[in-house]
Chain A
């Protein structure tokens, strides 16, 4: 099962209601055979922009991040269910990407253009193509007339 991150914005509500909402959200995951690895509460704060959801305009929200493992097919299902939930203002699902080790290429990028690999490749490509600026029409091309305007 792939790992997903579920970023949820819940509407402003008292603690008891929030608790029941979180329970509802997590039960939806469990019912589809998923597991929750971690729940992060990023706090209650003003949103950077107002959002309207389910006929109401929201300016503040409770920010939560669920780290879940679930089947890929269940994700669309979950999204559909959460979209009907009036307590959820916004929900986004992201796949957790594993850290890839790569070395910094800043040194190569700071070289003068002629020494950069991508520029050298571009020059190679340019050599294989007809240069429109220096191309000259040859009269012995089989045509008995000059095809362009003089």
Chain B
């Protein structure tokens, strides 16, 4: 009785397996034509980085000394370098030129930052430069 039982189950198993294979085969051959690689752009490509002034489309101006003072050290009044501000070369040169103009016109101090601007939002962290310090 037990032998008959095992034979029966085995038979069922083999038949179901055959059915499964039969149903799978035609579908796999059909999809191989649709599975051809699709031409598309690299979906993992990162977005082009921009500096904050280019992003917001701001041209630094010597009259806007509040903006310029954000690129100045609050302790010494010196202009932060490109490795700290994270600006592109063009904008950094513009910012530096405009700060010098503003200082020369007595809009901005040379050796300190205007105390009314000390609590302005920080555009960057001098302690974490994008390129390491020389010091």
Interface residues of A (CB under 8 A from B): 7, 9, 40, 42, 47-49, 51, 61, 63, 65, 90, 92, 94, 99, 102-107, 109-110
Contact = CB atoms under 8 A, between A and B. Distances in A.
Contacts of A51: 106
Given A105-B88, A109-B89, A94 B110 contact: no
A65 B89 contact: no
A106 B106 contact: no
B114 interface: yes
A9 B114 CA distance: 18
A66 to B, nearest CB: 12
Given A105-B88, A105-B90, A110-B130, A63 B51 contact: no
A107 B48 contact: yes
B107 interface: yes
B108 A106 contact: no
Contacts of A49: 106, 109-110
Nearest to B86: A106
Nearest to B109: A48
A48 B112 CA distance: 9
Contacts of A102: 90
Contacts of B91: 104
Interface of B: 48-51, 54-55, 59, 62-63, 86-91, 101, 103-110, 114, 130
A102 to B, nearest CB: 6
Contact of A106 (B88, B103, B105): B88
A104 B91 CA distance: 9
B88 A109 contact: yes
A31 to B, nearest CB: 25
B59 A42 contact: no
A105 B93 CA distance: 13
Given A105-B88, A106-B86, A7 B109 contact: no
A47 B106 contact: yes
Contacts of B51: 104, 106
B112 to A, nearest CB: 8
Which 9 residue pairs spanning A and B have beta carbons closest together? Answer: A48-B109, A104-B54, A104-B50, A106-B88, A7-B105, A106-B51, A47-B106, A105-B88, A104-B88
A145 B35 CA distance: 78
A106 B101 contact: no
A95 to B, nearest CB: 11
Given A7-B62, A104-B88, 15 more contacts: A48-B107, A48-B109, A48-B110, A48-B114, A49-B106, A51-B106, A63-B107, A65-B63, A90-B106, A104-B49, A104-B54, A104-B91, A106-B54, A107-B50, A110-B49
